Amino acid sequence: MDREYLRKELQRIDGKGYPAYKDIRGRYDFSAFTLFIDSVQGDPFAAPSRLRVRIPQSVAGYPSHTYRNRSRRVGLENYLLHSFCRALRKAGRPRGSGKSGLMQADQPGQEMLERTAMSVNDEYVEAQFMIGLPAQGRRISGSIAARMLCDELPNVVEGSLIHRNNDSALITRYCAVSEDADFLRTALPGKGLVAFVADGSVLPRISGIDERPLRDGRVVKWRSPEEIRVSFNLPNAGRVSGTGIAAGVTLVVGGGFHGKSTLLEALKRGVYNHRPGDGRELVITIPRAVEIRAEDGRRVSGVNISPFINNLPFGEDTSAFSTENASGSTSQAANIMEALEMKASLLFIDEDTAATNFMIRDRRMQALISKEGEPITPFIDRVQEMYTFYGVSTILVMGGSGDYFDVADRVIGMDVYRPRDLTKQARRLAAEFRTERRREIKEQCGPLIPRIPLPESIDPKKGKKEVSVKIRDHTHIQFGTEVIDLSAIGQLIDTGQTRAIGDALWYAKKHYIDGKATISEVLDKVMRDIEREGLAVLSRRPGPDYASFRHFELGSALNRLRSLHVRRG
């Protein structure tokens, strides 16, 4: 079947009831590319129809050096997806009832994630997208559909996916930026670092809901203090210098609105690569970095929080702690221990999103409430031990308690978005102004206790559907009858990630959650399969818009499933 056959079919069903669109499902040869109509919506108000175009490399013409390794390929794919989405938006417009005339693809953001919406290899370029097949009421507008699919779509493909019609210099930048970021992330441990911020980086964003870089006259570009400056030789950018944040305990201090949280936000996003022009292209963090915050009301299942909370009233066991409604302190303790269970190497904590009583008890409070009456061992008394015992570093924004000077390996001060190394001054002040607070540790943290998820507690069934997994938005998954709330997971950034994580939970249940494998083992196996076969291995339906995610976010979703039950490994 070819383009003219599709045109005739659309003319044949013109004016018929909307279900007749089902007749056009299939594969069509457009000479320069192949069109796949994978699924057709049931009516004009339903989710749009899903299509793909596949262009042979003999036509697309992308040089092999633009996709010769994973880093460069992801850069190229992100460039092409931006270009394709732009062209679809220009072509799409309302053309009838419901979603008639809509043309769109999975729009990428500032981060360059691997996505099922665009793929490039030696054989072809393939793009997945959605179209609202047009109708008046619920009657097919066949002539308009023919114009969209047979005339306008080829122009979109020609203008956005063919190499000769794209910006080759910008393609090179996308590939180079992605490759340099991955190279730098791999090189950090060799210099004893957990993060790096290149000189010239732009960290502030337009707003809390707009991740594009701030560009007005108030922008202060990053310039490293000399005391903590390091340099790297990158494959494309050559020699770059900036701030190296060493393993251990790092405090970020400074006055309000001077850039402390902005720095932390950039660092936690540094586990992802960023598109050219973002300003954070060379703000890089090691992969196993996790943001920790208090999370009132979350459910906790069988987590050993005893390193932080013990001797609860009525003798409640905290070595396998469960609750339907965690407090700020118990949730933060659980979040830390779950991160360690998932093999985190770096924790991010901002005092603004932490439980105050979990972070510190000062000398006066210790005098008023004795340790015997306080079940919490504050984070200040564990943070160094976590590094020496578990090898887990911490980057902590702290503007309200100088007691943390006693446990910090380095202190970075933010002054109107300009960093300063204040380590020596902080140590001098710690020696001069003794806090006299007592460390509240009776014993070491001890070994981590693995947990085994019970398969019967993970049920995606809803009503007559054996598997019902949907996303409400990028922070909520409907898994069977349960709603998983991921709004506290700050490194979950894209709806495509959430969609993939929802299906990955079902994939994990189906293949690996057997009552024997630990949570960590289950996550490793799922991520191994994705590494080998791609995100599409998770799919239960044609053409899902998936974006790559980390095992930490998948584990966070599993841990927040309110039906989850575990046993000790």
Please list the pLDDT of the chain residue by residue as tens digits (569 residues): 899 999 999 999 999 999 999 999 999 999 999 999 999 999 999 999 999 999 999 999 999 999 999 999 999 999 999 999 999 999 999 999 999 999 999 999 999 999 999 999 999 999 999 999 999 999 999 999 999 999 999 999 999 999 999 999 999 999 999 999 999 999 999 999 999 999 999 999 998 889 999 987 789 999 999 999 999 999 999 999 999 999 999 999 999 989 999 999 999 999 999 999 999 999 999 999 999 999 999 999 999 999 999 988 767 889 999 999 999 999 999 999 999 999 999 999 999 999 999 999 888 888 888 888 889 999 999 999 999 999 999 999 998 889 999 999 999 999 999 999 999 999 999 999 988 888 888 777 778 899 999 999 999 999 999 999 999 889 999 999 999 999 999 999 999 999 999 999 999 999 999 999 999 999 999 999 999 999 999 986 767 799 999 999 999 999 999 999 999 98
User: Is residue 461 located within the same domain as residue 386?
Assistant: no
Q: How many CA atoms lie within 13 A of 247 on its CB side?
A: 16
User: Is residue 561 located within the same domain as residue 488?
Assistant: yes
**What is the reported pLDDT for 474?**
92
Strand partners for 207? 210
Q: Is residue 52 part of a domain?
A: yes
Domain termination site, one of 119, 141, 166: 166
Q: Is residue 282 part of a domain?
A: no
User: Is residue 426 located within the same domain as residue 460?
Assistant: no
- Residue 48 contacts residue 543 (beta carbons within 8 Å): no
- Residue 83 contacts residue 108 (beta carbons within 8 Å): no
User: Is residue 30 located within the same domain as residue 159?
Assistant: yes
User: Is residue 419 located within the same domain as residue 456?
Assistant: no
Strand partners for 556? none
Q: Is residue 199 part of a domain?
A: no
Q: Is residue 17 part of a domain?
A: yes
DSSP 465: B
What are the residues whose beta carbons fall under 8 Å from the beta carbon of 13, sequence distance 6 or more? 20, 21, 23, 24, 140, 142
Going from the C-alpha of 508 to that of each of 450, 518, 564, the distances in angstroms are: 17, 12, 13
**Strand 393-397 to strand 249-254: parallel, antiparallel, or no bridges (unpaired)?**
parallel
Q: Give the separation between CA 21 and CA 16, rounded to whole angstroms.
A: 9
Q: Is residue 197 part of a domain?
A: no
For residue 386, give its domain range. Answer: 289-432
How many folded domains does the chain comprise?
3
- Residue 135 contacts residue 96 (beta carbons within 8 Å): yes
User: Is residue 412 located within the same domain as residue 498?
Assistant: no
**What is the reported pLDDT for 446?**
78
Going from the C-alpha of 209 to that of each of 206, 472, 494, 535, the distances in angstroms are: 8, 18, 13, 27
Q: Give the separation between CA 128 and CA 77, rounded to whole angstroms.
A: 12
User: Is residue 89 located within the same domain as residue 144?
Assistant: yes
**What is the reported pLDDT for 397?**
97
User: Is residue 360 located within the same domain as residue 301?
Assistant: yes
User: Is residue 21 located within the same domain as residue 156?
Assistant: yes
**What is the reported pLDDT for 209?**
86
Residue 155 in tokens: 């122009």
Domain termination site, one of 114, 137, 166: 166
User: Is residue 455 located within the same domain as residue 427?
Assistant: no
**What is the reported pLDDT for 148?**
97
Q: Is residue 239 part of a domain?
A: no
List the one residue out of 30, 4, 45, 47 whose CA is nearest residue 156. 30
Residue with tokens 């963090």: 285
Domain termination site, one of 166, 184, 211: 166
List the one residue out of 32, 254, 76 whose CA is nearest residue 178. 76
Q: Which helix (H) or strand (E) holds 420?
A: strand 418-421
Q: Is residue 173 part of a domain?
A: no
Going from the C-alpha of 117 to that of each of 87, 246, 349, 436, 557, the distances in angstroms are: 15, 37, 34, 58, 23
User: Is residue 35 located within the same domain as residue 97?
Assistant: yes
Q: Is residue 264 part of a domain?
A: no
Torsion of CA 208, 214, 216, 218, to 10 degrees: 80
User: Is residue 293 located within the same domain as residue 384?
Assistant: yes
Q: Residue 380, SS3?
A: helix
